[in-house]
Structure 1
Amino acid sequence: MTADLPGLSIIKPGFMTLLQDSGRRGVMHQGLACGGPMDRHAWAWANRLVGNPWHTAALEVSFGGFECMAETHLQIAITGADSSLHINGSPQPRWTALNINPGDRLVLGHPASGVRVYLAVEGGFALTSGLGGSNSTLVREGTGGLRGDGSALQAGDHLPCNTVKSHGIQRQMPEQWLPDYTAPLVLDVIMGAQLDRFPSSTLHRFFSSCYTLTPRSDRMGARLSGPVLEHHGVTLISEGISLGAIQVPADGQPIILLQDRQTVGGYPKLGAVTPRSLDALAQRMPGSEIRFRPIALHEAQEQEKRFLAFFQGQ
């Protein structure tokens, strides 16, 4: 990290603000989580709007209440949750590139809808690459982030930014593409290899019922409350766990495993929520209602291919 470079000075970090790039790869065999942004869609758009490549780290601000000051001329983009954005007390648009000057103060309010806001800076932050080539913050493991110890940003932190000689064009997301974080949430599910452990009555109950996102949810997993899901057999021998896996523990209440999940587990898995659906889930407050629908594997793969082609092929 080049600490002497100017960048952003953190005044108020809010409830939890983390550095997140696209996550670590090739580390799960070591028992390490991948990390990365909870809402890849909003994170990727923040970087795209300022012309950054895919892996560039951005700030993930949960529940707003964030304030920082620019130490140099920067181009930034704010995406994600519907938090008010003010620069020097003047309201500013989100989902667009903004040029800011030394001494400018940026304030994010608490979101009216959604949970997580993403702040990207043109050129990215000047950070030394961490474990697995990633700076993603994993609080549980004590890795990544500004100090490399998994800690969230704190008041007084200095985030150095890579030097950009001339700022690029001021891109803006087309209005018709803006996500609606208040819309009814239906998550796509790829059926799993342990499907035979769940009776047909359980599967019918799961796909025809409404579940509620509980306050016990975090970056490791989304814990749900709703109709109990019965399954056959005893606990499995622990095995690798994929992103979005729907574990069903003994109490029958499903848990959707997320970016900071453990790498192995022994609960039966009904299936997995698709990555694109996880983006929408990441922006729902506790108490939100959730429904599910099955999706074919090839359809989920096509969704992911289109998503990656759009953001990685810029």
Structure 2
Amino acid sequence: MSFDVLEPGMLALVQDAGRYGYQHMGVTTGGPMDEYAFFWANRLLNNDLNAPQIEITFGRFSLKANHDACIAITGGDLGARINDRAIAPWRTHHISKGDRLDFSAPVSGLRAYLAVSGGFRPAMKLGSCATVAREGLGGLNGKGAKLAKGDKLEFDQNAPFVEAFLPEPEIPDYHQHLRLGLIPGYQYRSFPAVQRMKFFSCEYEISQNIDRMGYRLKGDAIHSDLDGIVSEGIAYGAIQVPKDGQPIVLMKDRQTIGGYPKIGCLSALDAGLLSQRGPGSSVSFYLSDVAEAEGRRMLFNQRLKTGAPGVSTT
């Protein structure tokens, strides 16, 4: 059972939840930029939460179904259509043999997630299929390549179609102003109080320099008392501040160590919200802590367990 890639778009990547346990060797985790959307796509289909999906950035991606399938689409609205019929994200859909699935251009958000009942079946490297191009790991054939025209996406036997969807109040609004919680990091106190006040009172703009490694922001420059630090491990969502004072939020394909002072870190859920915003969008920060981030994550994990309308809880 399979799909054929008709048009690869700008960037379509095979992803699972990430490649863990190898950062000490310089291998980053990779995985979905937006965990909220990724995990819900699998949950709507009652897949294993780690089942491989396709992360589609900016759209222009097209597939042909070689077999009937049950799919789920979450994340950004990239103008998805089955044949000429528009379909909404954050729900399951039935696709028949011979149908064409197209993603056009962003209506809201930047990244959509396409899951299939049973999960896709790419090659596995170091226990994961997460695509990290600069490391040459993951993807369809395990070599870190993005999807290309003519690729065949195989998937396991589908379960019968079940209509399932995420309720409207739980669907993120990617148009609203983004305000993110900063968990103070090791070098937080090295930023003088006036610099911290500037950071929390400034509204930053997302620059043109964004990718799966990091999001560079533009706004009031902030400076640490440190010229640099001994290189140390970098967490997903860490906000490092180079000498120009413009913050950089480190994302899924970040380097594993770095030597710039870090004012703090975002939670994975907040970093996922940031990943759905494009250049020119605004973002601001408030002071958070580990307890708040853990509480939000526990609520999210529990919500996944309870499912959504149409999702089996057994």
Smaller-chain TM-score range?
over 0.9
User: Could you tell me how far apart the structure 2 residues matched to 1:96 and 1:231 are?
Assistant: 45
Counterpart of 2:179? 186
- 1:1-314 equivalent positions in 2, closer than 5 A: 6-131=1-126, 133-164=127-158, 166-311=159-304
The answer on whether the counterparts of 2:206 and 2:283 sit within 8 Å (CA) in structure 1 is: yes
Take 2:64 and 2:75, find their aligned partners in 1: how far apart are those partners? Answer: 20
Within 2, Cα distance between the matches of 1:45 and 1:234? 42
Q: What root-mean-square deviation, in Å, do the aligned CA atoms of Structure 1 and Structure 2 show? A: 1.2
Change (3 A) 1:168 1:86: closer
Measure how far apart 1:92 and its partner are.
2.0
1:240 CA displacement: 0.6
Distance 1:85 1:233 in 2: 48
Alpha-carbon distance in structure 2 between the residues aligned to 1:173 and 1:234: 47
DSSP 3-state at the match of 2:106: coil
Distance 1:292 1:93 in 2: 31
Structure 2 gaps, min length 5: 307-312
TM-score normalised over the length of structure 2 = 0.95
When structure 1 is superposed on structure 2, of 299-308 and 215-224 the one drifting more is 299-308
Task: Count residues with an aligned counterpart.
Answer: 307
TM-score, with structure 1 as normaliser: 0.95
Q: Deviations over 1:136-195 (max 9, x none)?
A: 10011110000111110001000111113x414211111222211000000111011212
Q: For residues 81 and 92 of structure 2, what CA distance do their matches in structure 1 show?
A: 14
Alignment-derived partner of residue 3 in structure 1: none
Q: Alignment identity in percent?
A: 41
Distance in 1, Cα, partners of 2:19 & 2:301: 17
8 Å contact kept, 1:50–1:170 = no
2:309 aligns with none
Query: What's the CA shift string for 1:242-293, capped at 9, x where partnerless?
Result: 1111101111111111100000001111000111111110110111111000
Asked if the contact 2:123–2:139 (Cα under 8 Å) also holds between the matched residues in 1, the reply is no
- Matching residue's letter, 2:201: S
SS of the equivalent of 1:224 reads strand
Q: Name the aligned partner's letter for residue 287 of structure 2.
A: P
SS class of match (1:214): strand
Deviation at 1:296, TM superposition (A): 2.0
